[in-house]
């Protein structure tokens, strides 16, 4: 109320604040947005115009399977002799492969598997190969579900079958679905269990046992198992019934020495790098570093690839020994961080 008793006119008294910052004009925001995009495009121009020492960097990754695998001829021949029974219509013996990390186990299995598929196709022999990584697919249910779904997809899903869900079925039902999927047509199925020792240690040994014994329930098909392990002693912890089903076929991959690692690196480098882009001492140095770590070829390849990346970042025309040493520093830091995360239970490693 006013002094004379009249109602106070609030609207007349209101004055908008004059010190409030005015909102930015849309035109200014649009202009700045365009400027940011122009700067972002310019950010990558030096990278697009920069040269590289690489011809194909992916050839230095462990996932690549080269046509030549030096110093693994004996292991390749042994594996081929056992799996070759597939081409004669026989059931191959299950094979256990042992060796430390970076000794060529997985790449040799992939190489032999590829050759087997080519030979089987040429001979008109139905053959199917499946890979399971025991560190990722680490329970009996997951192993059998993955194999069932992939084998069924490869042969065409029957109308009365449905994909195995990620969870929810009794394990026995999943196993019966696997038997049906495999036996839908006459063929040989090779199951490669990489990191099989980790699979067993995580309590999924029953999956291994069932795969080793499944042939007793098949009428048209045959299954063989190739287990790959970094631990030569893991079978000692197996249930006796599983151990007795493994069979006697074992292929051991010894560590590479420095000279052998040089040959492995030269094969990869010959196609991964541009001609003349690797200095003479680079490959021996990478091999020498890896030879100190139980002859780990993966480590040697990682060092060589990283050295190439260091050289590219420096604008160098070729990889030099100083780039190798810098690459080692970088990978050592990365590995130290991974080891720290693995020791820290609060770290979420997804």
Q: Taking the domains of the chain in order of start, what are their residue ranges?
A: 57-62+256-337, 73-253
Q: Taking the CB of residue 157, how many other CB atoms lie within 10 A of it?
A: 14
Between 1.10.357.10, 3.40.50.1110, 3.40.50.300, 3.90.1300.10, what CATH number should domain 73-253 receive?
3.40.50.300
What does the pLDDT profile of the chain (350 residues) look like in tens digits? Answer: 555 555 455 444 444 444 444 445 555 455 555 555 555 557 777 667 678 999 999 999 999 999 999 999 999 999 999 999 989 888 888 999 999 999 999 999 999 999 999 999 999 999 999 999 999 999 999 999 999 999 999 877 554 568 999 999 999 999 999 999 999 999 999 999 999 999 888 888 899 999 999 999 999 999 999 999 999 888 887 878 787 777 678 999 999 999 999 999 999 999 999 999 999 999 999 999 999 988 999 999 999 999 999 999 999 999 999 999 999 998 776 665 555 554 554 444 33
Q: Is 104 annotated as a binding residue?
A: yes
Q: Is 68 helix (H, G, I), strand (E, B) or coil?
A: coil
Q: Is 105 annotated as a binding residue?
A: yes
Domains 57-62+256-337 and 73-253 belong to one CATH topology: no
The interaxial angle of helices 258-272 and 297-313, nearest 10 deg, is 40
Between 3.90.550.10, 1.10.8.60, 3.40.50.720, 1.10.3720.10, what CATH number should domain 57-62+256-337 receive?
1.10.8.60
Q: Is 256 annotated as a binding residue?
A: yes
pLDDT of residue 49: 66
Kindly give, in sequence order, each residue whose CB lies less than 8 Å from that of residue 280, ignoring residues fewer than 6 positions away.
none
Q: Is 28 annotated as a binding residue?
A: no
Report whether 132 contacts 192 (CB < 8 A).
yes
Q: Is 103 annotated as a binding residue?
A: yes
Q: Is 164 annotated as a binding residue?
A: no
Taking the CA of residue 263 as centre, how many other CA atoms within 13 Å lie in the half-sphere pointing to its CB?
9
> Could you tell me the CA-to-CA distances from 164 to 39, 190, 203 in Å, in that order?
50, 20, 21
pLDDT of residue 290: 96
């Amino acid at each position: 109320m006013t002094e004379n008793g009249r109602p106070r006119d609030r609207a007349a008294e209101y004055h908008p604040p004059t010190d409030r910052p005015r909102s930015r004009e849309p035109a200014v925001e649009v202009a700045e947005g365009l400027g940011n995009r122009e700067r972002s495009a310019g950010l990558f121009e030096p990278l697009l115009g920069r040269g590289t020492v690489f011809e194909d960097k992916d050839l230095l990754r462990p996932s690549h399977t080269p046509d030549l695998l030096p110093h693994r001829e004996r292991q390749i021949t042994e594996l081929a002799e056992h799996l070759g029974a597939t081409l004669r219509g026989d059931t191959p013996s299950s094979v256990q492969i042992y060796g430390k990390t970076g000794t060529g186990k997985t790449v040799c299995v992939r190489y032999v598997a590829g050759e087997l598929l080519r030979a089987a196709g040429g001979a008109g022999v139905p053959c199917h190969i499946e890979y399971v990584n025991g560190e990722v697919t680490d329970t009996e249910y997951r192993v059998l579900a993955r194999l069932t779904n992939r084998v069924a997809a490869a042969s065409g899903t029957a109308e009365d079958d449905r994909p195995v869900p990620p969870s929810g079925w009794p394990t026995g039902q999943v196993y019966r679905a696997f038997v049906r999927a495999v036996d839908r047509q006459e063929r040989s199925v090779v199951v490669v269990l990489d990191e099989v020792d980790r699979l067993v240690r995580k309590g999924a040994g029953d999956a291994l046992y069932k795969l080793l014994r499944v042939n007793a329930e098949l009428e048209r098909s045959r299954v063989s198992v190739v287990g790959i392990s970094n631990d030569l002693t893991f079978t000692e912890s197996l249930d006796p019934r599983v151990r007795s089903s493994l069979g006697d076929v074992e292929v051991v991959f010894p560590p590479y020495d420095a000279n052998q690692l040089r040959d492995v690196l030269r094969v990869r480098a010959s196609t991964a790098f541009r001609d003349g882009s690797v200095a003479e001492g680079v490959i021996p140095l990478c091999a020498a570093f890896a030879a100190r770590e139980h002859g780990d070829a993966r480590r040697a390849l990682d060092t060589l690839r990283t050295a190439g990346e260091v050289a590219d970042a420096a604008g160098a025309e070729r990889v030099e020994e100083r780039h190798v040493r810098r690459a080692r520093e970088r990978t050592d830091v990365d590995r130290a961080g991974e080891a720290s995360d693995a020791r820290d239970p609060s770290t979420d490693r997804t």
